[in-house]
Structure 1
Amino acid sequence: METAFTRLVGVRCPIVQTGMGWVAGPRLVSAVANAGALGVLASATMTVDGLREAIREVKSRTDAPFGVNLRADARDAGDRVRVMVDEGVRVASFALAPSRELIAELKESGVVVIPSVGARRHAEKVVAWGADAVLVQGGEGGGHTGEVATTVLLPQVVDAVDVPVVAAGGFFDGRGLVAALAYGAAGVAMGTRFLLTSDSTVPDAVKARYLAATVRDVTVTRAVDGLPHRMLRTELVESLERSGRVRALSRAVRHAARFRRLSGLGWGEMVREGLALRHGKDLSWSQVLLAANTPMLLRSAMVDGRTDLGVMAAGQVAGVIEDLPSCAELVERLLDEARAAVGALPVSGGSGVA
């Protein structure tokens, strides 16, 4: 299924697996790439050396193109870009808008730049700076999210920019792919759907928790880090929402200490990162600490399998997903469903669309 996006990045299918921290590792990314879609490594939870190792592992498993997701505000973003360029990574994606200079550096090295955006004006800005495509996430998407639904946000962005647009937030089957293409997108991106595959390294107990969820079990909360965050409603989330400031601060300090040991960051670095996150936002200090070490909360669930101690980012589609196919099975299923959906459209006659 060829689109402007598949031509841009060199994949067979207009489908992207998003860069989910602790989830989008070499095994999942290579499985997605081998299935013909674009797999994206999540680098924010890796050291620079760990990123290089992960890239090389993906390359040992597949010859297909893949990408790396970067934090544009990371102090070592330049080092990570150099690793990507040295290792021949085809695509760079960003959760936050990269600077004009970072986009230029990547493009000069032949890397395709695809920032994620949550508003029309953000898309216009990064495209003016040279972005090759944009990924548009509506409010249905997991993790940090906005308030505007994909069906409203997507056509705004498609009408505003002249580069391929990838739609994210609320996609899990071939009907959604066709709908996105009808809106003018050149593909779809999915996180939760790829998390819930047999190729995902997420522990079985965590996958079972996702599969048991209904759409009412997926919530948006500010209790974790002060920003709107879509995730499964768990005991931890409910506890954070009930906690007073003293109890929340104590919990945050404990999590911060664990993240410090894991990441190797000094307390000074964590405080500076927390201050940067607090700037311009009405966050309590407990939220600042939690925001600085949210990766630790994700790791507790996604790596350690502790659904009681971790958070589980989830798109609303978690409430309608019921199985764990392989990535190859999932991609082929989506393409078959898309073809069937197109074939079933009433394109002429009767009360159908002419």
Structure 2
Amino acid sequence: MLKRARLPLVAAPMLLVSGPELVIAACRAGVFGSFPTANCRAEGELDEWLYRIAAACGPDAAPCVPNLIVHRSNPRLDQDLDVILRHRPAAVITSVGSPAAVAPALRAAGIQVWCDVATVRHAERAIDAGADGLILLTAGAGGQTGSANPFAFVRAVRQRFDGIVALSGGQADGHALLAARALGCDLGYMGTRFIATREARADERYKDFVVESELDDIHLTNALSGLETNLLRRSLLAQGLDPAEFGLGPKRFSMTALEGREGGAPKRWRDIWSAGHSVSGVSDVPSVAELVDRLAAEYAEAARTTHALTAEPAQAAESGRVPGGAW
């Protein structure tokens, strides 16, 4: 399955942003496309999207991997699972909880189970539940995020898991993607960089905010859902909200965390927008095809640079001398 991709990269699933246009463009360009099944609002829409994506991409494109929220608060879990089982995508990404309830049915249908995890304990639980892949949510990932250092997290997971590992957080170019591979990951996982593409369903102001923001403009809070989430500070200010009021409190997941606010609650994701630390690497709004071409060129250049950097120490080791100079 991984060999079908031009680059070892997933265009991450994003609420309200990832539609079939983005997924099709990503898969055709040679990276894994994904979308949250929750983005399909109308009756039968998930079925329609999966048919549309399959027909537009064909067997030679990179795979589409739908994202399924497995938390008990998702009223559509069983319904969406049934649709996915009929279509049999190569893999499914599970989020917000253990995949234990859905993994047996998915794996019996020949569908790999990739699971979002933010801690080593969560990774161990997912492995015990039969996960084929782990998406490591690290500090700086957009939307619902983790707090672990990516270097330490990847190496800790690799000590106990030899399945597919994807790194989420802080990647906006091919250099970062190669670094993820060097750490021991099979895939990179980019969301923020794909918000600012022509095919994304994000509001144009949202795309502008991503382009105009820097790392320091990302605000961490769990006020929206009880889960730690990275937001665009500009989107809070645009709603007349003080970022200082949106801090870190008890970690209690809720789908209605903003309801009941005086004056009416802004809708999370619709009015308050998320992004990750990698906004510093976003400066324009290309098509997905143009972006993937750029990432591929950067990835190749990073590989050439890395080869040059490692050549001298390797040659020195063979000759028995200690490299000097910049080393």
CA distance in 2, matches of 1:99, 1:282: 19
1:111-130 pair list within 5 angstroms: 111-130=111-130
1:6 paired residue among 2, 5, 13: 2
From the superposition, tell whether residues 198 and 347 of structure 1 become closer, same or farther in structure 2 (CA, over 3 Å). same
Q: Residue by residue, what CA displacement relative to the aligned partner does 1:271-318 show, whole Å, maximum 9, x if unpaired?
A: xxxxxxx9x856899837489xx994212xxxxxxxxxx111100111
1:1-354 pair list within 5 angstroms: 6-7=2-3, 10-47=4-41, 49-63=44-58, 64=61, 65-73=63-71, 74-233=74-233, 234-235=236-237, 239=241, 241=243, 281=251, 287=257, 289=259, 296-299=267-270, 310-345=271-306, 346-349=309-312, 350-351=323-324
CA distance in 1, matches of 2:141, 2:292: 19
| CA shift for structure 1 position 322 | 0.3
| CA shift for structure 1 position 88 | 3.1
- In the alignment, structure 2 segments of 5+ residues that lack a partner are 313-322
From the superposition, tell whether residues 46 and 286 of structure 1 become closer, same or farther in structure 2 (CA, over 3 Å). closer
CA distance in 1, matches of 2:260, 2:132: 33
| CA shift for structure 1 position 94 | 1.4
| CA shift for structure 1 position 99 | 3.5
Partner secondary structure for residue 227 of structure 1:
coil
- Tell whether the 8 Å contact from 1:196 to 1:207 is kept in structure 2 after alignment: yes
From the superposition, tell whether residues 347 and 36 of structure 1 become closer, same or farther in structure 2 (CA, over 3 Å). same
| CA shift for structure 1 position 242 | 6.2
Partner of 1:267: none
From the superposition, tell whether residues 157 and 283 of structure 1 become closer, same or farther in structure 2 (CA, over 3 Å). closer
| CA shift for structure 1 position 227 | 3.3
More displaced stretch, 208-217 vs 27-36: 208-217
CA distance in 2, matches of 1:218, 1:243: 15
* 1:325 counterpart letter in structure 2: P
| CA shift for structure 1 position 220 | 0.6
* Normalised TM-score (structure 1): 0.77
Partner secondary structure for residue 205 of structure 1:
helix
The size of the alignment, in residue pairs, is 303
Partner secondary structure for residue 113 of structure 1:
strand
CA distance in 1, matches of 2:303, 2:93: 30
Q: Residue by residue, what CA displacement relative to the aligned partner does 1:166-194 show, whole Å, maximum 9, x if unpaired?
A: 11100111111111111111110000111
Partner secondary structure for residue 113 of structure 2:
strand
CA distance in 1, matches of 2:78, 2:231: 31
More displaced stretch, 46-55 vs 119-128: 46-55
- In the alignment, structure 1 segments of 5+ residues that lack a partner are 245-277, 300-309
CA distance in 2, matches of 1:121, 1:353: 40
- Tell whether the 8 Å contact from 1:11 to 1:38 is kept in structure 2 after alignment: yes
Of Structure 1 and Structure 2, the greater helix share is in 1
* 2:67 counterpart letter in structure 1: N
CA distance in 1, matches of 2:188, 2:240: 32
